[in-house]
Structure 1
Amino acid sequence: MSTPGGVLTAAARLTRAGGDAPPVTLPRGPAREAAERELSKPAYHEHDPSWFVRALNAFWEWVGKLFSAASDAAPGGALGLVVILVAVVAVAVALWWRLGTPRRSPAPAAPLFDDRPRSAAEHRAAADAHAAQGHWNQAVQERMRALVRSLEERALLDPHPGRTADEAATEAARPLPLHADRLHAAARAFDAIAYGGRTATPDTYQRLASLDTELARTTPAPTATPGAPR
Protein backbone atom coordinates (compact mmCIF):
# COMPACT_ATOMS: atom_id res chain seq x y z
CA MET A 1 0.00 0.00 0.00
CA SER A 2 1.35 3.40 -0.94
CA THR A 3 1.83 6.09 1.67
CA PRO A 4 0.66 9.71 1.51
CA GLY A 5 2.80 11.74 -0.85
CA GLY A 6 3.72 8.70 -2.92
CA VAL A 7 3.67 10.48 -6.27
CA LEU A 8 5.82 13.39 -5.14
CA THR A 9 8.18 11.09 -3.22
CA ALA A 10 8.64 8.79 -6.19
CA ALA A 11 9.39 11.71 -8.43
CA ALA A 12 11.99 13.00 -5.98
CA ARG A 13 13.69 9.57 -5.77
CA LEU A 14 13.92 9.31 -9.53
CA THR A 15 15.49 12.77 -9.64
CA ARG A 16 18.11 11.83 -7.04
CA ALA A 17 18.79 8.46 -8.69
CA GLY A 18 19.36 10.03 -12.04
CA GLY A 19 22.19 12.26 -10.88
CA ASP A 20 22.91 14.48 -13.78
CA ALA A 21 20.08 13.00 -15.80
CA PRO A 22 17.39 15.43 -16.88
CA PRO A 23 14.53 15.80 -14.38
CA VAL A 24 11.58 13.50 -14.76
CA THR A 25 8.64 15.30 -16.25
CA LEU A 26 5.05 14.04 -16.38
CA PRO A 27 2.37 15.19 -18.75
CA ARG A 28 -0.09 17.59 -17.15
CA GLY A 29 -3.15 15.32 -17.48
CA PRO A 30 -1.68 12.13 -15.91
CA ALA A 31 0.04 14.22 -13.24
CA ARG A 32 -3.22 15.84 -12.20
CA GLU A 33 -5.00 12.48 -12.11
CA ALA A 34 -2.21 10.97 -10.05
CA ALA A 35 -2.36 13.89 -7.62
CA GLU A 36 -6.15 13.56 -7.28
CA ARG A 37 -5.85 9.84 -6.59
CA GLU A 38 -3.19 10.51 -4.00
CA LEU A 39 -5.15 13.26 -2.25
CA SER A 40 -8.32 11.16 -2.20
CA LYS A 41 -6.74 8.63 0.16
CA PRO A 42 -8.31 8.49 3.68
CA ALA A 43 -5.04 9.47 5.32
CA TYR A 44 -5.44 13.01 4.01
CA HIS A 45 -8.98 13.36 5.40
CA GLU A 46 -8.70 11.93 8.92
CA HIS A 47 -9.18 15.35 10.52
CA ASP A 48 -11.80 16.74 8.13
CA PRO A 49 -15.01 18.00 9.84
CA SER A 50 -18.04 15.69 9.73
CA TRP A 51 -20.91 16.23 7.31
CA PHE A 52 -23.02 17.65 10.15
CA VAL A 53 -20.38 20.24 11.01
CA ARG A 54 -20.02 21.16 7.35
CA ALA A 55 -23.79 21.53 6.98
CA LEU A 56 -23.97 23.63 10.14
CA ASN A 57 -21.17 25.86 8.95
CA ALA A 58 -22.91 26.30 5.61
CA PHE A 59 -26.16 27.19 7.36
CA TRP A 60 -24.58 29.83 9.57
CA GLU A 61 -22.73 31.21 6.57
CA TRP A 62 -26.09 31.54 4.79
CA VAL A 63 -27.63 33.22 7.85
CA GLY A 64 -24.70 35.61 7.99
CA LYS A 65 -25.14 36.55 4.34
CA LEU A 66 -28.88 36.97 4.83
CA PHE A 67 -28.41 39.19 7.89
CA SER A 68 -25.79 41.21 6.07
CA ALA A 69 -28.07 41.75 3.08
CA ALA A 70 -30.98 42.70 5.35
CA SER A 71 -28.86 45.11 7.38
CA ASP A 72 -27.70 46.78 4.15
CA ALA A 73 -31.32 47.27 3.10
CA ALA A 74 -32.64 48.34 6.53
CA PRO A 75 -32.44 51.99 7.59
CA GLY A 76 -29.58 52.42 10.02
CA GLY A 77 -27.76 49.25 8.99
CA ALA A 78 -27.37 46.39 11.46
CA LEU A 79 -28.60 48.50 14.40
CA GLY A 80 -31.73 49.46 12.49
CA LEU A 81 -32.41 45.81 11.68
CA VAL A 82 -32.12 44.87 15.35
CA VAL A 83 -34.56 47.64 16.28
CA ILE A 84 -37.04 46.40 13.68
CA LEU A 85 -36.79 42.81 14.94
CA VAL A 86 -37.31 43.94 18.54
CA ALA A 87 -40.37 45.96 17.47
CA VAL A 88 -41.86 42.94 15.64
CA VAL A 89 -41.34 40.71 18.67
CA ALA A 90 -42.90 43.35 20.95
CA VAL A 91 -45.99 43.59 18.72
CA ALA A 92 -46.33 39.79 18.65
CA VAL A 93 -46.11 39.60 22.45
CA ALA A 94 -48.67 42.40 22.83
CA LEU A 95 -51.11 40.64 20.50
CA TRP A 96 -50.66 37.36 22.36
CA TRP A 97 -51.23 39.11 25.68
CA ARG A 98 -54.36 40.86 24.37
CA LEU A 99 -55.96 38.04 22.42
CA GLY A 100 -54.61 35.02 24.28
CA THR A 101 -53.81 31.65 22.78
CA PRO A 102 -56.08 30.46 19.97
CA ARG A 103 -58.93 28.28 21.18
CA ARG A 104 -60.50 25.47 19.38
CA SER A 105 -63.95 26.23 18.07
CA PRO A 106 -66.78 24.41 19.85
CA ALA A 107 -67.94 21.17 18.35
CA PRO A 108 -71.19 21.24 16.38
CA ALA A 109 -74.27 21.12 18.59
CA ALA A 110 -75.55 17.62 19.29
CA PRO A 111 -79.12 16.56 20.17
CA LEU A 112 -80.34 17.72 23.56
CA PHE A 113 -81.75 14.38 24.70
CA ASP A 114 -80.34 10.89 24.65
CA ASP A 115 -82.09 7.80 23.38
CA ARG A 116 -83.97 7.04 26.62
CA PRO A 117 -86.91 9.44 27.10
CA ARG A 118 -87.45 10.77 30.64
CA SER A 119 -89.98 13.12 32.13
CA ALA A 120 -89.26 16.67 33.27
CA ALA A 121 -89.56 15.53 36.89
CA GLU A 122 -86.92 12.83 36.32
CA HIS A 123 -84.53 15.33 34.73
CA ARG A 124 -85.06 17.76 37.61
CA ALA A 125 -84.39 15.03 40.18
CA ALA A 126 -81.17 14.09 38.37
CA ALA A 127 -80.14 17.76 38.21
CA ASP A 128 -80.75 18.25 41.94
CA ALA A 129 -78.73 15.11 42.73
CA HIS A 130 -75.76 16.33 40.67
CA ALA A 131 -75.99 19.81 42.23
CA ALA A 132 -75.98 18.31 45.73
CA GLN A 133 -72.68 16.61 44.91
CA GLY A 134 -71.18 19.71 43.28
CA HIS A 135 -71.25 18.20 39.79
CA TRP A 136 -72.30 21.45 38.16
CA ASN A 137 -71.70 20.43 34.54
CA GLN A 138 -74.08 17.49 34.79
CA ALA A 139 -76.53 19.52 36.88
CA VAL A 140 -76.77 22.25 34.22
CA GLN A 141 -77.27 19.75 31.42
CA GLU A 142 -80.02 17.88 33.26
CA ARG A 143 -81.78 21.10 34.23
CA MET A 144 -81.81 22.30 30.65
CA ARG A 145 -83.31 18.98 29.61
CA ALA A 146 -85.93 19.32 32.34
CA LEU A 147 -86.82 22.81 31.10
CA VAL A 148 -87.31 21.67 27.50
CA ARG A 149 -89.16 18.48 28.49
CA SER A 150 -91.50 20.54 30.66
CA LEU A 151 -92.36 22.75 27.68
CA GLU A 152 -93.03 19.63 25.61
CA GLU A 153 -95.29 18.21 28.33
CA ARG A 154 -97.24 21.49 28.36
CA ALA A 155 -97.60 21.30 24.54
CA LEU A 156 -95.64 24.52 24.11
CA LEU A 157 -93.09 22.56 22.09
CA ASP A 158 -93.67 19.60 19.82
CA PRO A 159 -91.69 16.53 20.95
CA HIS A 160 -88.58 16.27 18.82
CA PRO A 161 -85.89 13.76 19.96
CA GLY A 162 -83.19 15.23 17.67
CA ARG A 163 -83.74 18.84 18.73
CA THR A 164 -80.69 20.85 19.86
CA ALA A 165 -80.70 23.28 22.77
CA ASP A 166 -80.50 26.27 20.42
CA GLU A 167 -83.40 24.96 18.35
CA ALA A 168 -85.46 24.44 21.50
CA ALA A 169 -84.73 28.01 22.65
CA THR A 170 -85.73 29.44 19.27
CA GLU A 171 -89.00 27.48 19.19
CA ALA A 172 -89.84 28.23 22.83
CA ALA A 173 -89.29 31.95 22.31
CA ARG A 174 -92.40 32.09 20.10
CA PRO A 175 -94.94 31.30 22.84
CA LEU A 176 -92.68 32.83 25.51
CA PRO A 177 -91.30 36.01 23.87
CA LEU A 178 -90.56 37.77 27.18
CA HIS A 179 -88.10 34.99 28.04
CA ALA A 180 -86.41 34.77 24.63
CA ASP A 181 -83.07 36.26 25.73
CA ARG A 182 -82.81 34.04 28.80
CA LEU A 183 -83.76 30.96 26.79
CA HIS A 184 -81.03 31.63 24.25
CA ALA A 185 -78.51 32.34 27.04
CA ALA A 186 -79.43 29.02 28.65
CA ALA A 187 -78.96 27.22 25.32
CA ARG A 188 -75.55 28.81 24.81
CA ALA A 189 -74.50 27.81 28.33
CA PHE A 190 -75.66 24.24 27.71
CA ASP A 191 -73.70 23.97 24.43
CA ALA A 192 -70.58 25.56 25.92
CA ILE A 193 -70.60 23.12 28.84
CA ALA A 194 -71.71 19.98 27.03
CA TYR A 195 -69.69 20.38 23.82
CA GLY A 196 -67.36 23.38 24.21
CA GLY A 197 -65.26 22.24 27.17
CA ARG A 198 -66.46 25.01 29.52
CA THR A 199 -66.96 24.43 33.25
CA ALA A 200 -70.27 25.27 34.91
CA THR A 201 -70.54 27.14 38.19
CA PRO A 202 -73.18 27.16 40.93
CA ASP A 203 -74.34 30.52 39.58
CA THR A 204 -74.85 29.03 36.11
CA TYR A 205 -77.03 26.32 37.59
CA GLN A 206 -79.02 28.71 39.75
CA ARG A 207 -79.86 30.95 36.79
CA LEU A 208 -81.06 27.96 34.78
CA ALA A 209 -83.06 26.54 37.70
CA SER A 210 -84.72 29.92 38.26
CA LEU A 211 -85.65 30.13 34.58
CA ASP A 212 -87.08 26.60 34.67
CA THR A 213 -89.16 27.40 37.75
CA GLU A 214 -90.39 30.71 36.32
CA LEU A 215 -91.37 29.18 32.99
CA ALA A 216 -93.39 26.50 34.78
CA ARG A 217 -95.59 29.30 36.22
CA THR A 218 -95.70 31.44 33.06
CA THR A 219 -98.77 31.62 30.84
CA PRO A 220 -97.74 31.53 27.18
CA ALA A 221 -98.60 34.43 24.94
CA PRO A 222 -101.67 33.81 22.78
CA THR A 223 -100.91 32.71 19.24
CA ALA A 224 -102.11 35.18 16.64
CA THR A 225 -104.67 33.80 14.21
CA PRO A 226 -104.03 34.66 10.54
CA GLY A 227 -106.47 37.36 9.41
CA ALA A 228 -107.67 38.13 12.96
CA PRO A 229 -108.03 41.81 13.87
CA ARG A 230 -105.30 43.29 16.01
Structure 2
Amino acid sequence: MIPIEIGRDEAADAAARELADPNYHSDQGIVGAIFSWIVERIADLFQLAADVTPGGYLSLLVLLVVVVAAVVAIRLRIGPMGRSAAAPVQLFEGGPLTAAEHRRAADAFAGRGEWAEAVRSRLRAVVRGLEERDLLDARPGRTADEAAREAGAVLPQCADDLAAAARTFDDVWYGGRTATAEMDAQLRAVDAAVVRARPVGTSR
Protein backbone atom coordinates (compact mmCIF):
# COMPACT_ATOMS: atom_id res chain seq x y z
CA MET A 1 0.00 0.00 0.00
CA ILE A 2 1.32 3.45 -0.93
CA PRO A 3 0.67 6.16 1.71
CA ILE A 4 -1.21 9.31 0.72
CA GLU A 5 1.71 11.47 1.77
CA ILE A 6 5.35 10.46 1.41
CA GLY A 7 8.54 12.35 2.15
CA ARG A 8 11.46 12.75 -0.24
CA ASP A 9 13.75 10.36 1.64
CA GLU A 10 11.07 7.74 1.97
CA ALA A 11 10.27 8.01 -1.72
CA ALA A 12 13.93 7.66 -2.67
CA ASP A 13 14.28 4.59 -0.46
CA ALA A 14 11.14 3.05 -1.94
CA ALA A 15 12.41 3.67 -5.46
CA ALA A 16 15.79 2.17 -4.63
CA ARG A 17 14.15 -0.94 -3.16
CA GLU A 18 11.93 -1.32 -6.20
CA LEU A 19 14.80 -0.93 -8.66
CA ALA A 20 16.84 -3.44 -6.67
CA ASP A 21 14.23 -6.10 -7.42
CA PRO A 22 16.04 -8.99 -9.21
CA ASN A 23 13.28 -9.03 -11.82
CA TYR A 24 14.73 -5.81 -13.21
CA HIS A 25 18.22 -7.19 -13.41
CA SER A 26 17.73 -10.78 -14.48
CA ASP A 27 19.89 -12.13 -17.24
CA GLN A 28 17.81 -11.33 -20.32
CA GLY A 29 20.62 -10.60 -22.71
CA ILE A 30 21.04 -7.28 -24.48
CA VAL A 31 17.33 -6.38 -24.28
CA GLY A 32 17.29 -6.85 -20.51
CA ALA A 33 20.46 -4.80 -20.13
CA ILE A 34 19.02 -1.95 -22.17
CA PHE A 35 15.80 -2.01 -20.19
CA SER A 36 17.72 -1.94 -16.90
CA TRP A 37 19.80 1.00 -18.09
CA ILE A 38 16.69 2.94 -19.12
CA VAL A 39 15.00 2.29 -15.77
CA GLU A 40 18.09 3.47 -13.92
CA ARG A 41 18.37 6.66 -15.98
CA ILE A 42 14.70 7.48 -15.41
CA ALA A 43 15.13 6.97 -11.68
CA ASP A 44 18.23 9.21 -11.70
CA LEU A 45 16.42 11.99 -13.57
CA PHE A 46 13.44 11.81 -11.26
CA GLN A 47 15.70 11.96 -8.20
CA LEU A 48 17.63 14.91 -9.66
CA ALA A 49 14.45 16.81 -10.44
CA ALA A 50 13.13 16.20 -6.94
CA ASP A 51 16.43 17.33 -5.36
CA VAL A 52 16.46 20.68 -7.19
CA THR A 53 12.73 21.34 -6.71
CA PRO A 54 11.83 23.06 -3.40
CA GLY A 55 9.50 20.74 -1.52
CA GLY A 56 10.76 17.56 -3.17
CA TYR A 57 8.47 15.15 -4.99
CA LEU A 58 5.21 16.81 -3.97
CA SER A 59 6.28 20.16 -5.39
CA LEU A 60 7.58 18.45 -8.52
CA LEU A 61 4.20 16.80 -9.04
CA VAL A 62 2.37 20.10 -8.51
CA LEU A 63 4.72 21.81 -10.97
CA LEU A 64 4.09 19.17 -13.61
CA VAL A 65 0.31 19.54 -13.18
CA VAL A 66 0.57 23.32 -13.54
CA VAL A 67 2.69 23.02 -16.69
CA VAL A 68 0.27 20.56 -18.29
CA ALA A 69 -2.71 22.79 -17.40
CA ALA A 70 -0.95 25.81 -18.88
CA VAL A 71 -0.20 23.96 -22.13
CA VAL A 72 -3.83 22.85 -22.42
CA ALA A 73 -5.11 26.37 -21.74
CA ILE A 74 -2.79 27.92 -24.30
CA ARG A 75 -3.76 25.31 -26.86
CA LEU A 76 -7.45 26.01 -26.36
CA ARG A 77 -6.92 29.76 -26.52
CA ILE A 78 -4.78 29.93 -29.63
CA GLY A 79 -6.50 27.16 -31.55
CA PRO A 80 -8.89 29.45 -33.46
CA MET A 81 -6.14 32.05 -33.94
CA GLY A 82 -3.80 29.39 -35.28
CA ARG A 83 -6.40 28.41 -37.84
CA SER A 84 -6.69 32.05 -38.88
CA ALA A 85 -2.96 32.42 -39.42
CA ALA A 86 -2.67 29.17 -41.34
CA ALA A 87 -5.49 29.60 -43.85
CA PRO A 88 -8.92 31.24 -44.22
CA VAL A 89 -11.84 29.09 -43.19
CA GLN A 90 -13.79 27.86 -46.18
CA LEU A 91 -17.47 28.70 -46.10
CA PHE A 92 -18.60 25.41 -47.66
CA GLU A 93 -17.39 21.95 -46.67
CA GLY A 94 -18.80 18.54 -47.46
CA GLY A 95 -21.55 17.80 -49.96
CA PRO A 96 -23.70 20.51 -51.55
CA LEU A 97 -26.99 21.52 -49.94
CA THR A 98 -29.67 23.85 -51.23
CA ALA A 99 -30.29 27.26 -49.69
CA ALA A 100 -33.52 25.94 -48.18
CA GLU A 101 -31.65 23.01 -46.59
CA HIS A 102 -29.08 25.38 -45.09
CA ARG A 103 -31.89 27.50 -43.64
CA ARG A 104 -33.52 24.46 -42.08
CA ALA A 105 -30.16 23.42 -40.63
CA ALA A 106 -29.67 26.92 -39.22
CA ASP A 107 -33.11 26.82 -37.60
CA ALA A 108 -32.30 23.44 -36.04
CA PHE A 109 -28.98 24.71 -34.68
CA ALA A 110 -30.66 27.83 -33.30
CA GLY A 111 -33.32 25.71 -31.65
CA ARG A 112 -30.58 23.88 -29.76
CA GLY A 113 -28.71 27.06 -28.90
CA GLU A 114 -25.77 26.14 -31.14
CA TRP A 115 -25.30 29.71 -32.32
CA ALA A 116 -21.94 29.33 -34.07
CA GLU A 117 -23.29 26.56 -36.30
CA ALA A 118 -26.46 28.58 -36.89
CA VAL A 119 -24.42 31.61 -38.00
CA ARG A 120 -22.43 29.50 -40.44
CA SER A 121 -25.50 27.81 -41.90
CA ARG A 122 -27.28 31.15 -42.38
CA LEU A 123 -24.35 32.61 -44.29
CA ARG A 124 -24.17 29.43 -46.34
CA ALA A 125 -27.86 29.85 -47.15
CA VAL A 126 -27.22 33.41 -48.35
CA VAL A 127 -24.42 32.36 -50.68
CA ARG A 128 -26.14 29.22 -51.94
CA GLY A 129 -29.26 31.24 -52.69
CA LEU A 130 -27.22 33.64 -54.81
CA GLU A 131 -25.66 30.72 -56.65
CA GLU A 132 -29.08 29.22 -57.30
CA ARG A 133 -30.16 32.56 -58.80
CA ASP A 134 -27.02 32.57 -60.97
CA LEU A 135 -25.85 35.78 -59.31
CA LEU A 136 -22.69 34.03 -58.10
CA ASP A 137 -20.72 31.22 -59.68
CA ALA A 138 -20.75 28.00 -57.67
CA ARG A 139 -17.14 27.86 -56.54
CA PRO A 140 -15.76 25.44 -53.92
CA GLY A 141 -13.34 26.93 -51.42
CA ARG A 142 -14.91 30.40 -51.35
CA THR A 143 -14.38 32.20 -48.03
CA ALA A 144 -16.93 34.38 -46.26
CA ASP A 145 -15.04 37.57 -47.17
CA GLU A 146 -14.84 36.58 -50.82
CA ALA A 147 -18.53 35.72 -50.90
CA ALA A 148 -19.50 39.04 -49.33
CA ARG A 149 -17.30 41.02 -51.69
CA GLU A 150 -18.58 39.27 -54.81
CA ALA A 151 -22.22 39.36 -53.70
CA GLY A 152 -21.93 43.02 -52.73
CA ALA A 153 -20.78 43.85 -56.25
CA VAL A 154 -23.90 42.16 -57.66
CA LEU A 155 -26.30 43.55 -55.05
CA PRO A 156 -24.79 46.90 -54.00
CA GLN A 157 -27.84 47.71 -51.85
CA CYS A 158 -26.85 44.75 -49.62
CA ALA A 159 -23.09 45.26 -49.73
CA ASP A 160 -22.76 46.70 -46.21
CA ASP A 161 -24.99 44.05 -44.66
CA LEU A 162 -23.09 41.28 -46.45
CA ALA A 163 -19.75 42.65 -45.29
CA ALA A 164 -21.04 42.82 -41.70
CA ALA A 165 -22.30 39.24 -41.94
CA ALA A 166 -18.90 38.07 -43.16
CA ARG A 167 -17.20 39.86 -40.26
CA THR A 168 -19.52 38.14 -37.81
CA PHE A 169 -18.71 34.77 -39.37
CA ASP A 170 -14.97 35.51 -39.23
CA ASP A 171 -15.16 36.67 -35.61
CA VAL A 172 -16.90 33.46 -34.59
CA TRP A 173 -15.15 30.87 -36.72
CA TYR A 174 -11.55 31.99 -36.55
CA GLY A 175 -11.54 34.94 -34.20
CA GLY A 176 -12.60 32.95 -31.16
CA ARG A 177 -15.63 35.14 -30.41
CA THR A 178 -18.62 33.47 -28.75
CA ALA A 179 -21.64 33.33 -31.05
CA THR A 180 -24.96 34.66 -29.75
CA ALA A 181 -28.64 34.65 -30.61
CA GLU A 182 -28.25 38.28 -31.75
CA MET A 183 -25.67 37.21 -34.32
CA ASP A 184 -28.02 34.54 -35.60
CA ALA A 185 -30.78 37.16 -35.88
CA GLN A 186 -28.39 39.45 -37.79
CA LEU A 187 -27.59 36.72 -40.33
CA ARG A 188 -31.27 35.82 -40.63
CA ALA A 189 -32.09 39.44 -41.50
CA VAL A 190 -29.28 39.60 -44.07
CA ASP A 191 -30.55 36.40 -45.69
CA ALA A 192 -34.08 37.83 -45.95
CA ALA A 193 -32.79 41.10 -47.40
CA VAL A 194 -30.67 39.32 -50.01
CA VAL A 195 -33.63 37.14 -51.03
CA ARG A 196 -35.71 40.29 -51.65
CA ALA A 197 -32.95 42.22 -53.42
CA ARG A 198 -32.70 42.32 -57.19
CA PRO A 199 -29.79 43.40 -59.35
CA VAL A 200 -30.45 46.66 -61.17
CA GLY A 201 -32.30 46.09 -64.44
CA THR A 202 -33.10 42.41 -63.83
CA SER A 203 -35.79 40.34 -62.14
CA ARG A 204 -33.53 37.60 -60.75
Return the TM-score normalized by structure 1.
0.50
Which one of the candidate residues 149, 152, 158 is aligned to 2:131? 152
Which one of the candidate residues 170, 174, 180 is aligned to 2:159? 180
**Native 8 Å contact 2:145 2:163 kept in 1:** yes
Alignment of 1:1-230 (within 5 A): 104=81, 106-107=84-85, 108-222=87-201
2:151 and 2:113 map into 1 onto residues whose CA distance is: 29
Q: Which amino acid aligns with 2:121?
A: E
- The Cα of 1:141 is off from its aligned counterpart by 0.5
1:160 and 1:152 map into 2 onto residues whose CA distance is: 9
Q: Which amino acid aligns with 2:99?
A: A
2:143 and 2:113 map into 1 onto residues whose CA distance is: 25
Q: Which amino acid aligns with 1:147?
A: V
2:102 and 2:134 map into 1 onto residues whose CA distance is: 18
| 1:11-46 superposed Cα distances (whole Å, 9 cap, x missing partner) | xxxxxxxxxxxxxxxxxxxxxxxxxxxxxxxxxxxx
Quick check: which one's helix share is greater?
2
Number of residue pairs aligned between Structure 1 and Structure 2: 123
- The Cα of 1:112 is off from its aligned counterpart by 0.7
Tell which structure's C-alpha radius of gyration is larger. Answer: 1
Write out the 4+ residue segments of structure 1 that deviate beyond 3 Å after TM superposition: 102-108
| 1:77-122 superposed Cα distances (whole Å, 9 cap, x missing partner) | xxxxxxxxxxxxxxxxxxxxxxxxx995744312110131111011
Structure 1 residue runs without a partner (length 5+)? 1-51, 53-101, 224-230
Out of 117-126 and 213-222, give the one that drifted further.
213-222
For residue 186 of structure 2, give the secondary structure of its aligned residue in structure 1.
helix
For residue 174 of structure 1, give the secondary structure of its aligned residue in structure 2.
helix
Return the TM-score normalized by structure 2.
0.56
- The Cα of 1:172 is off from its aligned counterpart by 0.4
**Native 8 Å contact 2:102 2:124 kept in 1:** yes
Q: Which has the higher contact order (CA 8 A, sep 6+)?
A: 2
- The Cα of 1:147 is off from its aligned counterpart by 0.6
1:190 and 1:134 map into 2 onto residues whose CA distance is: 16
Q: Counterpart of 1:87?
A: none
Q: What root-mean-square deviation, in Å, do the aligned CA atoms of Structure 1 and Structure 2 show?
A: 2.1
